[in-house]
Amino acid sequence: MENKPPLPPFTKETAKTKVQMAEDAWNTKNPEKVVLAYTEDSVWRNRSEFLVGREQIREFLIRKWNKELDYRLKKELWSFTKHRISVKFEYEWHDDSGQWYRSYGNEQWEFADNGLMRRREASINDLPIQESQRKFR
C-alpha cells in the first residue's frame, strides 16, 4: 500500500501541509501527478459531476484543464479532524474566447490511513471577471 504523508490523524500543521501540497499539485495542471494523491477507488463529487476511481478523475482533470486555461489556484485550510480536512479555495482561469473567471468553492476531503484521499466533495461557483480584476498572476 502506497503512503502519501502527512498521514492521519491530522494536526493543524499537518493539515495545512496537506492543503499546500494539494494546491501545489493542482497548479502543475498535470493530471498524472495530481491523481496519485487519491485512492484507486476514490469517490468524488465536483459540482454536479460524480466520479469514482483514478481513471475517471484523470479524465475529468484533462477535460477541466483543457477548458480552464491559465488556471491558477489558491487553497486555505478551513477546518480539520482526524481523517478529514475542509478547504476553501478560489482560482482564476479563462475560456477559449478570452473571458476570465474567478471560481470560489469549498471542498471536503476524507483520507485513508495511508494519507491518500478517498473522498472529495467540491461545491464551486464561477464569477465572470475582467482581466484587469485578476488577483493571481
Given a cut of 70, whether residue 1 has pLDDT beyond it is no
CB 70 within 8 Å of CB 93 = yes
Mean of the per-residue pLDDT values of the chain: 98
Within-domain flag for 6: no
What's the CA gap between 45 and 119, in Å, rounded? 8
Q: Is 2 among the domain residues?
A: no
- Please indicate, yes or no, if residue 1 is contained in any of the structural domains: no
Please tell me the pTM assigned to this model: 0.96
Structural domain includes residue 35: yes
Residue 57 domain flag: yes
> What does 57-92 look like in DSSP terms, one character per residue?
HHHHHHHHHHHSEEEEEEEEEEEE-SSEEEEEEEEE
Query: Is 111 contained in some domain?
Result: yes
CATH number of the structural domain spanning residue 46? 3.10.450.50
What is the residue range of 101's domain?
12-133
In a domain, 3, yes or no: no
Number of structural domains (the chain) is 1
pLDDT tens sequence across 48-98: 999 999 999 999 999 999 999 999 999 999 999 999 999 999 999 999 999
Q: Is the dihedral of CA 125, 128, 129, 134 positive or negative?
A: positive
55 occurs within a structural domain: yes
pLDDT, tens digit, for every residue of 14-61? 999 999 999 999 999 999 999 999 999 999 999 999 999 999 999 999
